Amino acid sequence: MLTKNLALVSEVEGHDPSDVARVAAALQRQATRDFGPIWEVAATVDAFPRAKDVPLGYWTMFVKNDIEHEGAEGIHLDKHGQPYALITYSDSWSLTASHEMCEMLADPGGNRLIAGQSPMPDQGRVAFLVEVCDPSEAAEFGYTVNDILVSDFYTPRFFDPVAVEGVRSSFTGAIKKPRDVLPGGYMTWIDPVSDRAWQEKWFENGREFFDAGAIDGDVRSLRAEIDKRTPHPQLSKGLDRTDPILQEAVAAGERTAAAAGARAEQLQAEIASLLAEP
């Protein structure tokens, strides 16, 4: 199994490098412990201070303060067909970074399709676009790694034809049955009969089906094209500071930081004592 190497680079002026390093460590643990065994991928995630410090062969995730072009957030392909991600900085940027990391690992090119029965009663078999975080992308369905907020993701069993008791459709278990969409999420598929992209969404108007339009044959990445047509308010704007999920994660992070600081002081004291020995 080839290991995929991801780089996390923040281009936000004044962004604390320690914050970037802590999120990178959480993403590395999520990739190794949670995502990798389920999706059968191996990956590393490393923080770098500048884009020019990233070695060749790494897929870079850029954190930016303001991505002015609407729909530019998410994963794209460069002129050589290699993926990179743009992440808008916010108080909950770790959730967005986790979302993009998982989708990049599951489908670097953004064109992976899995056949199945359409959720629309007047359609037959369709091709679902593999976007592992979208159906449960809302923060309420996320979880924490090292007390850093990360995204839930569905498992390959998400595309099972029927629900089976004891089978996990998403990592946290928030998705209870195959091909289900939770509040704040959505799912996309291509209908071969109409040759159009369709979605099931659960946003402010409740659960609804949506015609996302025809896909141009020159599109390099289906996922990037769909992301342009779909709002991601929690990912692009982040959670409000008063959001209870964010506040809980921040409080947990502060406790973790205190424990890490105490441990560091203990180690530094032991090292100082060791070096002071005759």
Mean pLDDT of 224-251: 78
**CA–CA distance, 80 with 109 (Å, rounded to integer):** 11
pLDDT band at 11 (very low <50, low <70, confident <90, very high): very high
Any domain includes 264: no
pLDDT score of 72:
72
pLDDT band at 240 (very low <50, low <70, confident <90, very high): confident
Q: What is the mean pLDDT of the chain?
A: 91
Mean pLDDT of 13-23: 96
pLDDT at 236 over 80: no
Longest distance between any two alpha carbons in the chain, whole Å:
83
Structure tokens at 232: 């991601």
Any domain includes 276: no
Any domain includes 259: no
Residues whose CB is less than 8 angstroms from the CB of residue 43 and which lie 6 or more positions away in sequence, other chains included: 3, 4, 5, 6, 28, 31, 32, 35, 36, 101, 105
pLDDT score of 68:
65
Any domain includes 109: yes
Q: Do residues 178 and 167 lie in contact, with contact meaning Cβ atoms separated by under 8 Å?
A: no
Beta-carbon-side half-sphere exposure of residue 241 (alpha carbons within 13 Å):
0
Mean pLDDT of 270-277: 77
pLDDT at 272 over 90: no
pLDDT digits (tens, 9 = 90+) for 101-116: 999 999 999 999 999 9
pLDDT digits (tens, 9 = 90+) for 56-70: 999 999 999 877 666
pLDDT score of 269:
80
Count: domains in the chain: 1
pLDDT score of 98:
98
pTM exceeding the 0.75 threshold for the entire prediction: yes
Name which residue leads in pLDDT, 249 or 176: 176
pLDDT score of 24:
98
Any domain includes 71: yes
What backbone phi and psi angles, to 5 degrees, belong to 187?
A: -145, 145
Any domain includes 277: no
pLDDT at 181 over 70: yes
pLDDT digits (tens, 9 = 90+) for 28-53: 999 999 999 999 999 999 999 999 99
3-class secondary structure, 88: strand
Any domain includes 261: no
pLDDT score of 97:
97
Name which residue leads in pLDDT, 275 or 168: 168
Full residue range of the structural domain in which residue 94 is found: 3-251
pLDDT band at 71 (very low <50, low <70, confident <90, very high): low
Sign of the C-alpha dihedral computed for residues 131, 136, 140 and 141 taken in this order: negative
- Stretch among 151-155, 157-161, 242-246 having the lowest mean pLDDT: 242-246
What backbone phi and psi angles, to 5 degrees, belong to 203?
A: -110, -140
Mean pLDDT of 69-90: 88
